[in-house]
Amino acid sequence: MKELMRSNDAVLISFVDALLNDADIEHFVADVHMSILDGSLGVLPRRVMVDPERLDQARRILRDADLGHELSAAD
């Protein structure tokens, strides 16, 4: 899996999750339970991970949704 984006914004993560689900792109959100370590402050960002074969498509979907600025740097 490759990192598509990372964010502390739970609403943004939820929106990206819905976009990827609609496009049938397999993904998962990593670090969801890390709030236990940071005292539920939301300091540690969550990462959206995508199959490397679908990464370009997922990046295109986020750009089309005007979320290109949220994308992690390309390898």
Instruction: Indicate the number of domains in the chain.
Output: 1
pTM of the model: 0.85
**% of the chain residues with pLDDT over 90:** 71
The C-alpha angle 40, 20, 65, rounded to 5 degrees, equals: 90
On whether residue 75 sits in a domain, the answer given is no
* Residue whose C-alpha is closest to residue 7's, from 48, 40, 36, 41: 48
What are 1-15's pLDDT values in tens digits? 999 999 988 899 999
On whether residue 44 sits in a domain, the answer given is yes
User: In terms of residue numbers, what domain contains 11?
Assistant: 2-70
Q: What is the CATH number of the domain that holds 41?
A: 3.30.70.790
7-11, 61-65, 67-71: least confidently modelled range: 7-11
Residues 6+ apart with CB under 8 A from 24: none
CA separation for the pair 39, 51 (Å, rounded) = 31
On whether residue 37 sits in a domain, the answer given is yes
Sheet of strand 2-7: strand arrangement: 2-7, 46-50, 27-30
